[in-house]
Amino acid sequence: MSWLDDVKWDEHGLVPAIAQEAGSGDVLMCAWMNREALARTAEEGVAFYWSRSRQRLWKKGERSGHVQAVRELRLDCDNDTVLLRVEQLGHSPGIACHTGRHSCFYRRYGEGAWHAVDPVLKDPGRIYK
Residues that bind a copy of itself (CB under 8 A): 1-3, 6, 16, 18, 20, 24-27, 29-30, 42, 72-78, 81, 83, 97-99, 101, 104-109, 112-114
User: Which residue intervals of the chain are DSSP H helices?
Assistant: 2-5, 35-44, 124-127
Contact (Cβ atoms closer than 8 angstroms) between residue 95 and residue 127: yes
Minimum CB distance to a copy of itself, residue 67 (Å): 19
**Distance of alpha carbon 35 from alpha carbon 83, whole angstroms:** 15
How many Cβ atoms from other residues are within 10 Å of residue 40's Cβ?
A: 16
Q: Judged by CB, which is closer to a copy of itself: 62, or 76?
A: 76
Amino acid at 96: A
Minimum CB distance to a copy of itself, residue 94 (Å): 15
Helix (H, G, I), strand (E, B) or coil at 59: strand
Q: Judged by CB, which is closer to a copy of itself: 16, or 90?
A: 16
Q: Judged by CB, which is closer to a copy of itself: 4, or 62?
A: 4
Minimum CB distance to a copy of itself, residue 37 (Å): 14
